[in-house]
Each structure stands twice: as C-alpha cells, then as structure tokens.
Amino acid sequence: MDIQNNRQLIDSIDEQILELLIQRKNISQKIIKEKIQNNLSVNNFEREEEIINRLDKIAKGNLSRETIELLFKRIFDESKTGFLRKCENTDEVIKAINTTEPLLIAGPCAVESKEQIADIAQELSTMGIKFLRGGGYKPRTSPHTFQGLGAKGVRLLKEAAFNNDMFAVTEIMSIPQLEYLYDYIDVIQIGSRMMTAFSFLEEVGRVTAIDKKPVILKRGLSSTVTEFLHAADYIMKNGNTNVILCLRGIRSFEQIESELRFTPDLGDILEIKDKSNLPIIFDPSHTAGKRDYVIPLSKAALSLGANGLIIEVHNNPDEALVDGIQMIKPIELDKLKK
Ligand code: PEP
Ligand code: MN
C-alpha cells in the first residue's frame, strides 16, 4: 500500500472538510443574525436533533451515532459562539430573588421524566414556590449509575417551570453545556464538585457577564469559608456579581459513622454574613442525607439568618432514581411555617 499517496488523499479530504465547515459556519451565522434581528431564540434544539437523526440514517452505521452527535454538536456550537444573547427574563429572575424572603428553591434531585417534573412543579407552584430545581447533569460518584437526562432533562425542567410560572434552577458542569442550554436556565447552579475549578468559574463569569444571570455557587465538599468566598470572587471578577452562596454541609471525620451525609456547616452562615454581602442559602437535603432531618435543619438555617433554602422534593421519594433517601414530599414544606 502506498502510504504516501493515501496521506495526500487524506490531506486533500481534510482541506475539503475544513472548507465546507467554514462555508457551513458562514451560512449558519447568517441565519443566527436574522434570528437575532427578529428577536428569535438563537438555539433551535429540535432542528439540531433533526439534523443528527437525518445524518445518522444516511451514515448507515459507517459512523456511529455517538460520533455524529459529538461532531455535529461541536459544529452547531461553533456557529453560535459569540452570538449568545441576553435571556429576556433575567431581570425578572433577579427581581424575584431580591424580593423573595426566604428564597425557597425546591424540586427533585434529578429530572426523571416529563410527567415527574410537571407533577412536582405543579404541586410546588400551588404552594407559592417560585423556583424549581432539578438536575439534568448529575455529578454522580459512580459513572455506572444514572447520570441524569442531560440536555433533555434541562429542557423538561424549563418547560415545567415555565408552565407553572416558576424559574428553572439547574446545575451545569461545563461551558458548552451552559452555552448550549442558556435560554433554558434561569438560575445556574455550580455544584460542590466544581467549586474548585477556577477556570470554569471564570468562564461562567464571562459567559454570564452580558445579562448577569444569577449563579448559585455551592460550597466545595472540603473547602474553607475563605476558599468558598474566593471561588465566588472568580465569578464576580469576570463580570457577574449576581452570585448566591450555598452551604450544603462539609466532609469531616463524622462521615465515618454518622448518619448525616455531610456535617451541617450551619455556624458558617454567621461568619459568611459577617464577611460578605452576597445572599446565602442552605441545602439541608445533601447535608442531611436523611429525610427526617431536612425540616429541622432548614429551620435552624433560617433562624441563623440564611436568606433561603434549596430543598430536594419528589412526588414519590421511595421510587426516585437519585437521592430518594433525602427527599421529602412537596407538601412537607408546609412544616417550615410551623
Ligand atoms: C445538587 O444540588 O444537585 C447537588 C449535586 O449538590 P452538591 O453539588 O451540593 O453535591
Ligand atoms: Mn441530590
């Protein structure tokens, strides 16, 4: 086999691919500009899905669907780079955060299905709760467990929130995820495991600088208060000061034998309130890891001055795919008032 000849062929194909990619990007950006002029959303995930489905059929297995998806999602993102626009409702979200005391955020650990999130959203909204949480991307300890529904989960969350006049709160773990789903997220959640990824925090600050979309930053599992506050600075320094700090328990020797999933870092509410003007909320669910402790810990956090709570609830906690053991039913949130 003539390797040299084949290499020349490959080089020529690569150049053609590159030329076509540039052509594609230019056409796609014309469409995006047109959409922006007409005040339409830059993202059209249904169309993207259609494209991938069509190409998958044409490829007839010569390229795996996974590869097609990976390549084309990157191509779609490339066209959109630099064209993200402000979410229309961000001012409304900020206003709701600033005027809701305590700020109550509730919803399942993970979005599991359209019906599940729609039912929970409806129940919460009739109780007057305005912020719906639910994970699409779940940072699970083991890669072999349910990882969330991904982008589909985030879209279902937003749909359920929108239909019930609520705001969608969800975790993203990468900038492409954030850019891809920007219009579907009202409040961005940065999880404990991501708190120490400083370049990620900087990027979140940069990407959200345009509309100052609120960001909940959860405390790292083993981070000190100082490290936590500096992590918030990484976001703020890059253009977005709408950061909400969230305490969620820390890792300590207690986890060797305690029933608590993490040690409740309640006292730090006091210290953070002394050191920072940012709103601070408490997550009793991940701290407790046990249903019965959720309400008492919530009450303790509020009495120490926390501005709000993020609580995991599920309509059928025993059947939940993730964190069922620490989830309560929506109706139990009523106990917060007693
Ligand atoms: C969550 O709130 O969904 C979550 C995974 O929490 P944490 O990042 O605090 O573990
Ligand atoms: Mn959870």
Rg (CA), the chain: 22
Counting Cα atoms < 13 Å in the Cβ hemisphere of 162 gives 11
Q: Which ligand is nearest to the CA of 249?
A: 1
- CA 87 – ligand 1 centroid, Å: 24
**Substitution site in 132, 141, 172, 192 for ligand 1 pocket (most atoms within 8 Å of beta carbon):** 192
- CA 323 – ligand 2 centroid, Å: 5
- Predicted confidence band of residue 85 (pLDDT cuts 50, 70, 90): low
pTM: 0.80
Whose Cα sits closest to atom 10 in ligand 1?
192
**Ligand 1 within 6 A of CB of 249:** no
Whose Cα sits closest to atom 9 in ligand 1?
192
| Structural contact between residues 84 and 179, judged by C-beta atoms closer than 8 angstroms | yes
Least confident of 39-48, 60-69, 77-86, 274-283: 77-86
pLDDT of residue 87: 78
- By the CB criterion, residues less than 5 angstroms from ion ligand 2 are 109, 323
Q: Which residue has the higher pLDDT, 128 or 85?
A: 128
Q: Find all residues with CB under 8 Å of 133, minimum gap 6, and list them.
A: 105, 106, 107, 108, 169, 170, 189, 310, 312
pLDDT of residue 40: 75
**Ligand 1 within 6 A of CB of 213:** no
Q: How far apart are CA 42 and CA 38, in angstroms?
A: 10
**Ligand 1 within 6 A of CB of 179:** no
% of the chain residues with pLDDT over 70: 98
Average model confidence (pLDDT) across the chain: 94
For the cut 90, the answer to whether the pLDDT of residue 44 exceeds it is no
- CA 312 – ligand 2 centroid, Å: 7
185-237 tens-digit pLDDT: 999 999 999 999 999 999 999 889 889 999 999 999 999 999 999 999 999 99
Q: DSSP readout, 177-195?
A: HHHHTGGG-SEEEE-GGGT
% of the chain residues with pLDDT over 90: 83
**Substitution site in 147, 286, 325 for ligand 1 pocket (most atoms within 8 Å of beta carbon):** 286
255-290 tens-digit pLDDT: 898 889 999 999 999 999 999 999 999 999 999 999
Q: How far apart are CA 110 and CA 53, in angstroms?
A: 26
Atom of ligand 1 nearest to the CA of 135: 3
pLDDT of residue 46: 81
Q: Two tokens at 126? A: 């009739």
Q: Two tokens at 199? A: 């370049």
Q: Which ligand is nearest to the CA of 189?
A: 1
Least confident of 72-81, 142-151, 318-327: 72-81
**Ligand 1 within 6 A of CB of 158:** no
pLDDT of residue 193: 97
Place of tokens 């208060």: 225
Q: Find all residues with CB under 8 Å of 192, minimum gap 6, and list them.
A: 218, 219, 220, 221, 248, 286
- Predicted confidence band of residue 88 (pLDDT cuts 50, 70, 90): confident
**Ligand 1 within 6 A of CB of 109:** yes
Q: Which ligand is nearest to the CA of 312?
A: 2
